[in-house]
Amino acid sequence: MDKKYDLVIIGSGPGGYVAALKAAELGFKTACVEKSKTLGGVCLNVGCIPSKALLDSSEHYFQAKEKFADHGIITGNISLDLKTMMGRKEKVVADLTDQLRKLLENNKIDIVQGTGTIKGENQVEVVQESDTLKLNAKNILLATGSIPAAVPGLEFDGQHIISSTEALSFEKVPGHLCIVGGGFIGLELGSVWARLGAEVTIIEMLPRIAGTLDGQIIRTLERILKKQGLDFKLNTRVTSADIADRNIKVSFETKGENSTLECDKLLVAVGRRPMTLGLGLEDMGIKTDKKTGHIIVDSQYRTNIPSIYAIGDLIPGPALAHKASAEGSAAVENMAGLSGDVNYNTMPSVVYTWPEAGCVGITKEQAKEQKIPHKIGSFPFGGTGRARCMGETDGFVKIISHSKTDRVLGVHILGPRASDLIAECVLAMEFGASSEDIARTVHSHPTFSEAVMEAAMSAWKH
């Protein structure tokens, strides 16, 4: 049976479902194709949401064991019920995916279960368990996201050598978890299992962790995570992994010296690659980057076939859920003849360790490299009353502004709730604010946000 739509979206993750809602708002007859039984893509099912649920639960456990006594709360013997913790995580995921389905249905968006493949400039074929549908559409949007990148010689087996998906559902706390990759995913999952009692070793090829962050943030974060028990082996390359007697012998090389370690689980978290398999790109002649596999699009998110668009992890840029959402909305606006646009200069990113790291704009290193005249203001969380009251004094706020115009160029926060604090800075940069503008804005007292105001004042009066 053939059906006709204004827009057919393949993928129901943060890019796909936001695009669908925007399309419904603009009056498009819309279908969203999803091969999985639940909606929400990687983010809601095996990414952002379950990992944050476990990060919060593990932080509560750590606080109860290590910090409650400082507040005069005597708890006695603390024990871990991992099954209950995992059950809570799964309920959070189920609640959100159920809400998403209702949201799409209430907006009269057709949800089509099955595997979608492009069969023409205006046609998508959906293979279901007992049927095959042909969906005809004026426009097609590809939003299938990404999958964990594999490393030759360290192929995933789902039991010993695992991806982030399996690391969210361990049945017991590993004795020793080894992680290949010191990026955002490795640091977050390493934090979860270290708090719950695992020995955690992170192996990173580069000389530093979380390489895209500001250098001062990285150095301070590494020092804090080491105090929390994470062990880092930098400038190190894994050469092999041998499985025997349920243990994994990991061989690695550091500056020409070969070493080994044994662990229970080996998590490979070296990044993600676009999920393009089965979309029919080659048959359609849709252009991709031969090196990375990303789909090539123009400023309106169109591929070389004008009726076919792509967003999110499928196209170049950081693999961030909020990036995909912004692009999904912009792409649909462009289809409607509006001016859909995403400002990548104000795209925030967050590492959900504790303390958290949030950033937007350029780093100090980038300002120097680009020879931009700049000034820097910073303020430690230890100088704020709220942080002292909560016993969360690690970290600082760092603001980089133009030395002549005072316009904010970048903000880097390492500290409690940096993921929330960075939003103020994104908004300030979106409106072209100066550090003086932030400094003169009255902030509630006592709050963590006062550190942002103080850092702005430091930059303004530098």
Which CATH number does the domain housing residue 221 bear?
A: 3.50.50.60
Is 114 within 8 Å of 133 (Cβ atoms)?
A: yes
Q: Verify that 388 and 447 share a domain, yes or no.
A: yes
The pTM of this model reads 0.96
* 377 annotated ligand binder: no
Buried b / exposed e across 123-157, counting CB within 10 Å, b at 16+? bbbbeeeeeebebebebbbbbbbbbbeebeebebe
Is 316 within 8 Å of 289 (Cβ atoms)?
A: yes
Q: Is residue 190 part of a domain?
A: yes
* 376 annotated ligand binder: no
- Which of 270, 286, 315 is the last residue in one of the domains? 270
* 133 annotated ligand binder: no
pLDDT of residue 183: 97
Q: Verify that 9 and 118 share a domain, yes or no.
A: yes
Q: Verify that 87 and 221 share a domain, yes or no.
A: no
Residues classed as catalytic: 445
Report the CATH number that the domain containing residue 444 is assigned in CATH: 3.30.390.30
pLDDT of residue 245: 82
Q: Give rounded-to-5 percent helix, strand, coil for the chain.
A: 35, 30, 35
User: Measured between alpha carbons, how far is 9 from 17 in angstroms, rounded to an integer?
Assistant: 9
User: For residue 212, what are the domain limits?
Assistant: 161-270
Q: What are phi and psi of 127, to 5 degrees?
A: -90, 120
Q: Verify that 329 and 391 share a domain, yes or no.
A: no
pLDDT along the chain (462 residues), means of 10: 89 98 98 97 97 98 95 94 98 98 98 98 96 96 97 95 98 98 98 98 97 96 98 97 92 96 97 97 97 97 98 97 98 97 98 98 97 98 97 97 98 98 98 98 98 98 78
Asked whether the CA dihedral 62, 272, 163, 254 is positive or negative, the reply is negative
Q: Is residue 105 part of a domain?
A: yes
pLDDT of residue 246: 82
* 186 annotated ligand binder: yes
Q: Verify that 298 and 256 share a domain, yes or no.
A: no
Radius of gyration of the chain (CA): 23
Q: Verify that 31 and 137 share a domain, yes or no.
A: yes
- Which of 312, 342, 372 is the last residue in one of the domains? 342
- Which of 218, 243, 270 is the last residue in one of the domains? 270
Q: In 145-270, which ranges are E strands?
A: 146-148, 161-162, 176-180, 199-203, 231-233, 236-244, 247-254, 257-263, 265-268
Q: Verify that 165 and 216 share a domain, yes or no.
A: yes
Q: Verify that 19 and 130 share a domain, yes or no.
A: yes
Q: Verify that 330 and 364 share a domain, yes or no.
A: no
Q: Verify that 140 and 68 share a domain, yes or no.
A: yes
* 188 annotated ligand binder: yes
Q: Verify that 278 and 368 share a domain, yes or no.
A: no
Query: 105 by DSSP, 3-state: which?
Result: helix
- The total number of structural domains in the chain stands at 3
Q: Verify that 376 and 444 share a domain, yes or no.
A: yes
Query: 134 by DSSP, 3-state: which?
Result: strand
Q: Is residue 155 part of a domain?
A: no
pLDDT of residue 304: 98
